[in-house]
Structure 1
């Protein structure tokens, strides 16, 4: 587990990173990349959307271009204070401080769940994804953006020491284990040589699909001897 896959470490990290986050983020997860992901996600005007790991509100701002019913959750008070300055505490967005692995919402509470730049800090990503499935309505979709695993062996060792990086096959495994279907992956990059993002969009089974999906994924999990990946973050 990387050093930032510890929730206390991640909170401390963002206490300081929050001061410059918006200036740094624009070179890694750009507005154009965000807007492409939003297009793929196909948000409807009446959708109720949860932004898990909303941070300073960069993705939140994009979500508000599609729907007025946006809810943001994050574990970092310092990051959220930046978002409050942009949107107010209860004006355009309803904010919550909480943990991605223990979402403080009822079952089937949202039409869609979005999370960008958060999964890499979750100690138990499959548990968090299972929470996403719980709070999204049957048939609803989720979108998660995380860091794609680097190709260079030296960078791989460095990445593993810091936080969760994962490739398309690992993303597929995690989403399937959490019970999602219709899973698709997109690799995004600002420019050649810059860090790549892996954007995964998946659907929660509709009510008449759920039992079959659970059984299939349980069987797949029993056949997989590899230990679960672990990550850190709260939303």
Structure 2
């Protein structure tokens, strides 16, 4: 059954009380994929890690146990999710282990070459200009830094039939691979772990060459 536009829009950017409910449901549904993304990051104790579209922040908190001497950052453009993550993980925030920023992933509020690792799961559907977002991920990663991108591809017909294309831009696997390459990454691995009826692709990539463009921090913006 196709999801109502109102629910799909809440999936993109949770707002108000309904947004909190939708976000918590989605967090439970997507927890297995988030766990796979963290595994594919191959975290080291001192890594600086960025989650793009961090939402509730639970995945970053799990990653903090692995990168136990590092600093983990999350950015999201939903005030509802930003406030929730800050409140839910306040002990780790106070300890300086986690930080959450409100901002847009096509204008990340970090300097170039800040992070060793970055990941993003189930967010690319909402990027109307995906190269802008992927180039920003490349910019804030150190040379050789790792990106893990998780998404359900257009080849998953049940997924395409469920989510309205007015909100979700669901791209084929090969197209996303080429977008990642075009943003300045080398592809290390592309895999689809078996997950029953949920077809999920994970791209593992490495930032090539020197960090891109300016080292000026990105501006906060309205879109993700």
Fold similarity call, TM over 0.5: yes
Question: Which residue of the partner structure matches residue 52 of structure 2?
Answer: 52
Question: Which residue of the partner structure matches residue 229 of structure 1?
Answer: none
Question: Which residue of the partner structure matches residue 219 of structure 2?
Answer: none
The answer on whether the counterparts of 1:18 and 1:56 sit within 8 Å (CA) in structure 2 is: no
> Where in structure 2 are there 5+ consecutive unaligned residues?
213-221
* Normalised TM-score (structure 1): 0.75
* Aligned equivalents of 2:208, 2:159: Cα separation in 1: 39
Matched, 1:202 2:202: no
Question: Which residue of the partner structure matches residue 34 of structure 1?
Answer: 34
Relative CO higher for 1 or 2, CA cutoff 8 Å, sep ≥ 6? 1
In structure 2, do the counterparts of structure 1 residues 153 and 181 end up closer, same or farther at CA, with 3 Å as the change threshold? same
> Where in structure 1 are there 5+ consecutive unaligned residues?
212-231
Report 1:79-94 matches (<5 A): 79-88=81-90, 90-91=93-94, 92-94=97-99
In structure 2, do the counterparts of structure 1 residues 8 and 152 end up closer, same or farther at CA, with 3 Å as the change threshold? closer
* Aligned equivalents of 1:24, 1:107: Cα separation in 2: 31
The answer on whether the counterparts of 1:123 and 1:233 sit within 8 Å (CA) in structure 2 is: no
The answer on whether the counterparts of 1:148 and 1:187 sit within 8 Å (CA) in structure 2 is: no
| SS of residue in 2 equivalent to 1:63 | helix
In structure 2, do the counterparts of structure 1 residues 79 and 35 end up closer, same or farther at CA, with 3 Å as the change threshold? same
* Aligned equivalents of 1:150, 1:182: Cα separation in 2: 20
* Aligned equivalents of 2:83, 2:159: Cα separation in 1: 36
* Aligned equivalents of 1:167, 1:155: Cα separation in 2: 11
Question: Which residue of the partner structure matches residue 154 of structure 2?
Answer: 149
In structure 2, do the counterparts of structure 1 residues 135 and 151 end up closer, same or farther at CA, with 3 Å as the change threshold? closer
Report 1:24-173 matches (<5 A): 24-27=26-29, 29-31=30-32, 33-67=33-67, 68-88=70-90, 90-91=93-94, 92-152=97-157, 155-156=160-161, 159-173=164-178
The answer on whether the counterparts of 2:37 and 2:121 sit within 8 Å (CA) in structure 1 is: no
* Aligned equivalents of 2:159, 2:39: Cα separation in 1: 34
Q: How many positions carry a matched residue from both structures? A: 204
Task: Single out whichever of 85-94 and 135-144 deviates more from structure 2.
Answer: 85-94
Render the CA deviation track for 1:115-173: whole Å, top value 9, x for unaligned: 12222212211110001111100111111122222443894595534312122201111
* Aligned equivalents of 1:197, 1:153: Cα separation in 2: 12
* Normalised TM-score (structure 2): 0.78
The answer on whether the counterparts of 1:148 and 1:197 sit within 8 Å (CA) in structure 2 is: yes
